[in-house]
């Protein structure tokens, strides 16, 4: 199981890819999506390390000089590369477990509807596809 800090860090990157955020906004967004209290100590050191690596920049605004965190062009490239690697990794895990519906050819993961036709058990996504397939044969 992933540690909440790992999940929150990953989610911070995804959020910053979408738009700039203030630190407080990031924390509140994480709390809402993860359903648990997120401490500033989990987020701000990570933001500091991203800044040190030149993956984000900080823009200050308003009388209180609130800090807004923005991905740099290099940061966007790194997040995109991370997403591509993660996508490839997920495909490696899922692909061996995919089955194709013999009628509509959609990819099935998990539960598969099976029907015996001419002594052979065939995979379908649903009973409707099985009925249509039988009617075509």
Clarify whether residues 90 and 131 are in a common domain.
Answer: no
Task: Judge if 30 and 46 occupy the same domain.
Answer: yes
Task: Based on the fold, state whether residues 69 and 107 are members of the same structural domain.
Answer: no
Q: pTM, whole model, 2 decimals?
A: 0.66
The CA-atom distances, in angstroms, between 126 and each of 99, 105, 137 are 13, 12, 17
Number of domains in the chain: 2
SS3 121: strand
**pLDDT, mean of each 10-residue run, the chain (137 residues):** 75 95 94 90 93 95 84 96 89 82 89 90 92 81
Domain membership of residue 67 as a residue range: 4-94
Q: How is 102-118 classified by DSSP, letter by letter?
A: TTT--EEES--EEEEET
66-103 pLDDT, tens digit each: 899 999 999 999 999 999 999 888 888 877 778 999 99
Decide if 109 contacts 94 (C-beta within 8 A). yes
Question: Are both 111 and 49 inside the same structural domain?
Answer: no
């Amino acid at each position: 199981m992933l540690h909440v800090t790992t999940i929150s860090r990953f989610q911070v990157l995804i959020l910053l890819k979408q738009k700039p955020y203030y630190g407080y906004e990031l924390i509140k967004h994480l709390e809402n999506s993860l359903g648990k209290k997120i401490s500033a100590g989990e987020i701000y050191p990570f933001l500091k390390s991203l800044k040190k690596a030149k993956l984000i920049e900080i823009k200050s605004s308003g009388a209180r000089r609130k800090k807004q965190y923005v991905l740099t062009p290099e940061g966007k490239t790194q997040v995109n590369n991370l997403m591509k690697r993660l996508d490839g990794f997920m495909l490696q895990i899922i692909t061996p477990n995919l089955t194709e519906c013999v009628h509509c050819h959609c990819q099935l993961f998990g539960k598969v509807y099976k029907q015996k036709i001419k002594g052979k058990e065939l995979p379908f996504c649903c009973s409707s596809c099985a009925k249509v397939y039988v009617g075509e044969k």
